[in-house]
Structure 1
């Protein structure tokens, strides 16, 4: 008993010291999606910038599968020492409902460290589609319903979520066509095999710029600087419609507060870095404002998004397991 008391006392003394010295070796940031995709690119830019203030390299490791839940589960099981992190997008919050048998509780398994990006999506259609404005597109969807084909990159993908939100807003069901990735979607959209999609601006900017697709609206509250003439969905005919592909960084539950502080400070510093901002804009996204890159804002965003998407997904009856 005396030995256990001494051991506990020693642990109480040494834990702050360990946290104070953190980090003493490279940190692994798990990306739960394939290399080369938008999340992977955002992760590599973020990790490289965080490394500057942490004084240790932040290494990217891709752990792919099951809509991002394999990588997420790995971080949820990791030692809470600050050396295994997760970067994920809005899909972490929707997976809480899409997957009914997750091996972790999304609301409690992670410590949100800070938001990194909030990227818009764009509503687009094949180049010969008859509708020329969002209002005309809305009318067409309501009139034709299941005759309209909507492409998405799989359950839980940003394009899938946006499609569900559009159908909920219009109270009209279209025919959804799942693909394995964004590349095949764009090929079939340009080839006029499907009618429309809604995807991250990082994937749609090129086709919009080259006028290979028809663009109707951006899904955030404000217009994109890249396309200042493209209205927001709210402006163009879907009042209150908003969805962004936000990314955040997480640590496992139980990570010491001093380690959380160092990591969150590194994220805030990264969001203020002009080079990070330039590299983000090159891929048509923006860093969040430094005051939003905090654990408090991030935690609130995660919980709100879980609660927001749960009834939409349940009403759609589209589950991934």
Structure 2
């Protein structure tokens, strides 16, 4: 999987400044429960991995963590609440980092970018192209021809234009030169369920959101947006989409928990320590990833930011190419002419 191009294999490569900061920072002990606002519906990819991670944090902090699903506007409503809320360290958010990096590009949240967050990544996820079990499309080649011949007659269930499923079908349509009709739902899980019921002909949501429906035979996976096959526990390997679209850009879609910039330093230092000592060595989180078809790859700080930028750049420039960008990504430091990050 091309994910491996961006995944470093050792946690010892964390920035020295972060390590030294841990040694001198005062430990934070929260005095009341912490809220994590998941800006998507229950059962989706963000919700799943956040609920798998929260018990690790709760035990390490000796404090309850409350997960609040606050969906709407492709995750922007809940994310905005965290950005505009108190910076006391008791309200966090969770998401795919590319969303937080690009809300300004899509016009959903003005004036924000990736550096508004302290980043704690847990897993990398990949979208899967699936159809209902009784679909006429037997493999991705059949579906691709269907798209190219019938265009917007073919409906695609996603969690919205800026969701992982939405950006996946956008990239596929550009590479495959076809049109489609998107039906949006309040989160990845509802979109997957809708496709399994036959309300839509295709879904392009993440593997972790589809795994149970795939194992149960209600969805037929046709391709994974990767350059190597994907194995989900209890199911046959899913072929890579590059067998049909070899030039499709591939980058890992990282998910995690984010604290807004401006929270107290001791909160950040304590989270850094817990992430390195507990999350990055969690068998429970690793088992979740293996079972659901995700890649276990925790990181934090500058290393996490470096891992996040390839997908942030790819998605920002894809919005431009599809005419979905409200601002030029150069305003948040992304140059789509060179597909690189630049100084502002």
Task: Place the TM-score, normalised by the shorter chain, in its bin.
Answer: 0.7 to 0.9
Aligned to 1:59: 66
When the two chains are superposed, the root-mean-square deviation of aligned CA atoms in Å is 3.2
Tell whether 2:198 aligns with 1:189.
no
Q: CA deviation at 1:54?
A: 3.1
Q: CA deviation at 1:217?
A: 1.1
Aligned to 2:17: none
Aligned to 2:273: 265
Q: CA 1:175 to 1:32, structure 2 compared with 1: closer, same or farther past 3 Å?
A: closer
Q: CA 1:146 to 1:28, structure 2 compared with 1: closer, same or farther past 3 Å?
A: closer
Q: CA 1:130 to 1:32, structure 2 compared with 1: closer, same or farther past 3 Å?
A: closer
Structure 2's unaligned 5+ residue stretches are 1-21, 327-344
Distance 1:82 1:191 in 2: 41
The Cα offsets for residues 127-162 of structure 1, whole Å up to 9 and x where unpaired, read as: 444442323332332233333332223232222111
The structure having more radius of gyration, on CA atoms, is 1
Q: CA deviation at 1:93?
A: 3.1
Distance 1:148 1:21 in 2: 54
Q: CA deviation at 1:72?
A: 1.4
Would you say the 8 A contact 1:132–1:216 is kept in 2?
yes
Alignment of 1:272-283 (within 5 A): 272-283=281-292
Q: CA deviation at 1:263?
A: 0.7
Alignment of 1:230-249 (within 5 A): 230-242=238-250, 244-249=252-257
Q: 1:155 aligns with which of 157, 161, 183?
A: 161
Structure 1's unaligned 5+ residue stretches are 1-15
Q: 1:97 aligns with which of 95, 101, 105?
A: 105
Which secondary structure state, in structure 2, belongs to the residue aligned with residue 97 of structure 1?
coil
Q: 1:309 aligns with which of 315, 332, 337?
A: 315
Q: CA deviation at 1:103?
A: 4.5
Distance 2:288 2:64 in 1: 19
Aligned to 2:28: 22
Would you say the 8 A contact 2:252–2:311 is kept in 1?
no
Distance 1:125 1:25 in 2: 48
The Cα offsets for residues 11-32 of structure 1, whole Å up to 9 and x where unpaired, read as: xxxxx9x950412424332222
Tell whether 2:47 aligns with 1:43.
no
Would you say the 8 A contact 2:71–2:186 is kept in 1?
no
Q: 2:124 aligns with which of 115, 118, 122?
A: 118
The Cα offsets for residues 235-257 of structure 1, whole Å up to 9 and x where unpaired, read as: 45444443554212211213355
The Cα offsets for residues 145-184 of structure 1, whole Å up to 9 and x where unpaired, read as: 3333322232322221111111111122222233344565
Which secondary structure state, in structure 1, belongs to the residue aligned with residue 151 of structure 2?
helix
Q: CA deviation at 1:221?
A: 4.2
Q: CA 1:272 to 1:95, structure 2 compared with 1: closer, same or farther past 3 Å?
A: same
Distance 2:190 2:35 in 1: 31
Which secondary structure state, in structure 2, belongs to the residue aligned with residue 136 of structure 1?
helix
Would you say the 8 A contact 1:94–1:305 is kept in 2?
no
Which secondary structure state, in structure 2, belongs to the residue aligned with residue 172 of structure 1?
coil
Would you say the 8 A contact 1:162–1:243 is kept in 2?
no
Aligned to 1:5: none
Distance 1:156 1:53 in 2: 33
Aligned to 2:204: 198
Q: CA deviation at 1:49?
A: 0.4
Aligned residues between the structures: 301
Q: CA deviation at 1:205?
A: 2.1
Q: CA deviation at 1:283?
A: 4.3
